[in-house]
Amino acid sequence: MEETQLTQLGREVRGYANPDEAVLERVPNPHPGTTYLVRFAAPEFTSLCPVTGQPDFAHLVIDYVPGDWLVESKSLKLYLGSFRNHGAFHEDCTLAIAKRLHEELSPVWIRIGGYWYPRGGIPIDVFWQSGQPPEGLWLPDQGVAPYRGRG
């Protein structure tokens, strides 16, 4: 298995101005060949509307089955934070995150649920997965209720 050089863990990192500059780091999976689920929940994800510049908020849930690599969690946190001043539509943010993780990690399987809070009165939820989940995988519900407003 290839060695990895971590540049962020245990060091002060101020963050990144945009997702293209952000560094996603990976570490070797200590259990390659074992089918198990890793979940990251980011209930306070923010980005900017590319038209108005107003903030958009989402609850992201990222599930993946590792192959040879795990994403290093501090680098993921910094990567997600790099969207804070980045202008992109909900669909673009959600899919950009999923595709970048898929490219960097080459997981067995990955999915993302982007549960976006309403703007203009309409919540937009965005979902993507790399294919069918592996057979025998325990795949819990993402646990984010559909938006119900004040009801």
**Domain-located, residue 64:** yes
If one counts every other C-beta atom within 10 angstroms of the C-beta of residue 22, the result is: 21
**Domain-located, residue 107:** yes
Which residues does residue 109 pair with via DSSP β-bridges, in sequence order? 65
Distance CA 65, CA 39 (A): 9
**Domain-located, residue 81:** yes
CATH code for the domain in which residue 101 is found: 3.30.1130.10
**Domain-located, residue 11:** no
**Domain-located, residue 120:** yes
State the pLDDT at residue 1: 40
Distance CA 83, CA 56 (A): 10
State the pLDDT at residue 66: 98
State the pLDDT at residue 150: 61
**Domain-located, residue 50:** yes
Q: Residue 93: CA atoms inside 13 Å, Cβ hemisphere, count?
A: 32
**Domain-located, residue 141:** no
DSSP string, 81-103: HTTTT-B--HHHHHHHHHHHHHH
Per the structure, the count of domains in the chain is 1
The domain containing residue 63 runs over which residues?
A: 27-129
In contact, 113 and 128? CB cutoff 8 Å: no
Active site residues: 49, 56
State the pLDDT at residue 14: 79
Structure tokens belonging to residue 121: 């009165």
**Domain-located, residue 41:** yes
Q: If residue 116 lies in a helix (H) or strand (E), which one and from where to where?
A: strand 109-116
pLDDT mean values, one per 10 residues, the chain (151 residues): 61 83 95 97 97 95 98 96 96 98 98 93 94 97 84 59
In single-letter form, the type of residue at position 99 comes to K
